[in-house]
Amino acid sequence: MNQASGVAFQVLQSVLVVLIAPLVLGWVNQCRAWMQNRSGPGIWQPYRVLNKLFHKDAVLAHNASPLFRATPYILFGCMWLAVGIVPVLATSLPFAPAADVIALVGLFALARVFISLAGMDIGTSFGTLGARREMMIGFLAEPAMLMTLFTASLISHSTSLVTIVQTLGQSEFVIYPSMAFAAIAFLMVLLAENARIPIDNPSTHLELTMIHEAMILEYSARHLALVEWASSLKLTAYITIGIAMFAPWGIAAAGDWTGVPVALGALVVKLAFAGFGLALLETVSAKMRIFRAPEFLATAFLLATLGMLIHFVLEA
């Protein structure tokens, strides 16, 4: 019974996150519009875009290989699994032991490799440019993310995200200096991995600057819809991972179903707050030159590694 309800809860939670992911993106865009003194398209705009794209006929280049057509589905599946194993509302997730934080990073890497390969598939100059830049971001962002997560794992003696949340969220409040470093590194990785300013600009198609958009130029209609949805899922996944590690208060404990409504309320507040913060950050900072990006990410990587070392020096 308990197992069955756990599975049902897990499925419901991941479906919920998949459904609200475009809303998170809409909220970030709306906040940004407000800060820039624009009225903005409204927070429901991403849904309208998705709906429009799903109804269009797909246009595919003559020489597109099966890999190109399969990638949007694989990407979407990876991101769905990612949000499925993050404890968003409660820590009772029967499938969570299937993938710990290392596997989670591996999952994001898998998605990145596939989207980069799809970018190179048609053989256009923009596609390969985007793929090259995406991998340039990824090779530093991925280890930085891993080190951030390791800092949290060292504190909780576990690489399971559920156990990390339980240790950090449901024990008495302790300040971990190492987690401060990890939090800054994580924020930098979040910005880079989700193609946000200062690394990439999600709302431009300038060839000098674009990364993510360059890779997906050849996608259209339902394929593009899935890719876009997957990117909003990725953003949501990163924000919820951040919440789980650095602000886990309110997430319901295992078997505590009465805590779920509270957790839902807390989640909405935290997501709204995070989205606002992201929009603010994007408004006050400028886009970097592409070759400053490795420096930015190397800083994140070093901060995260430093966080781990500080754990050994101060806390162990």
Partner 1 sequence: MDLSSLQPIEIAVALSVIWIGLGCAALAAARRTSVILDLIFPAGAAVGLALAACGFWAMNAPASMLVLPAGLPDLPFHVRADALSGFFLLLLGSVSFGISLFSSGYFRDAGRDEPLGLLGLQYHVFLASMALVLIADDAYLFMVVWETMALSSYFLVTTEHHSEQNRRAGFIYLLIAHLGAISILLSFGVLHGGLGDYTFDALRRAELTPFWATVAFALAFFGFGAKAGMLPLHAWLPEAHPAAPSPVSALMSGVMLKTAIYGMVRVIYDLIGDIQWQWGLTVLLFGAATSLFGVLFALMQHDLKRLLAYHSVENIGIILIGIGLSMVFIGSGHPVAGVLGLIAGLYHTLNHAVFKGLLFLGAGAILRSTGLRNLNEMGGLIRYMPHTALYFLVGALAISALPPLNGFISEWLTFQASLQAPILESSVVRSLVPIVAAVLALSGALTGMCFVKVYGVAFLGQHRHALVEKPRDASGWERAGMLWLALGCAALGLLPVFMLAQLNNVSIALTHASLPPEALGSGWLWLVPTSAAQASYSPMVFLLVIAAVVGLTFAVVRRFYHGRLRRADPWDCGYPEQTSRMEDTADGFGQPIRHVFAPVYRIRREIPRPDDPQPVFRQEVEDRHWYWMYLPVARLTEFVSSHVGRLQQGRISVYLLYSFVTLIALLVFVR
Subset of residues 188 to 207 that bind partner 1, contact rule: CB under 8 A: 205, 207
- Per DSSP, 313 falls in state I
The dihedral of CA 89, 94, 97, 99: what is its sign?
negative
Span near partner 1 by CB under 8 A; candidates 38-46, 240-248, 255-263, 299-307: 299-307
Which one among 16, 33, 103, 281 touches partner 1, defined by CB under 8 A? Answer: 103
Q: Residue 28 Cβ, how far from partner 1 at the closest point, in Å?
A: 24
Dist CA 235 CA 215 (whole Å): 18
Token pair in block for residue 81: 């699994």
Under the binding rule (CB under 8 A), the answer on residue 233 touching partner 1 is: no
180 belongs to the binding site for partner 1 (CB under 8 A):
no
Q: Count CB neighbours of 268 within 10 A.
A: 11
User: What dihedral do alpha carbons 177, 180, 185, 186 form, nearest 10°?
Assistant: 120
Joined tokens for residue 13: 């939670």
Binding of partner 1 by 159 (CB under 8 A) = yes
Residue 20 or residue 82: which is nearer to partner 1 going by CB? Answer: 82
Length of the chain: 316
Show contacts with partner 1 in window 8-27 (CB under 8 A). Answer: none
Name residues whose C-beta falls within 8 Å of residue 290's C-beta, 6 or more positions apart in sequence.
133, 208, 209, 211
C-beta closer to partner 1: residue 27 or 219: 219
Distance, CA of 162 to CA of 152 (rounded, Å):
11
Tokens representing 86 are 């993050």
CB of 279 vs partner 1, minimal distance in Å: 28
Binding residues for partner 1 restricted to 105-144, rule: CB under 8 A = 106-107, 109-110, 112-113, 116-117, 119-129, 131-133, 135-136, 138-140, 142-143
CB 181 within 8 A of CB 310: yes
Q: How far is the CB of 241 from partner 1 (least distance, A)?
A: 17
Spatial distance between the Cα atoms of 237 and 86, rounded to a whole number of angstroms: 8
Q: How far is the CB of 169 from partner 1 (least distance, A)?
A: 16
Q: For partner 1, which residue of 60, 184, 253, 262 counts as binding (CB under 8 A)? A: 60
Query: 258 φ, ψ to 5°?
Result: -70, -20
CB of 18 to partner 1, least distance (A): 9
Site for partner 1 contains 294 (CB under 8 A): yes
> Under a CB-based contact definition with an 8 Å cutoff, are residues 145 and 308 in contact?
no
Residue in 8, 19, 102, 269 binding partner 1, rule: CB under 8 A:
102
Residues 35-54 that bind partner 1 (CB under 8 A): 54
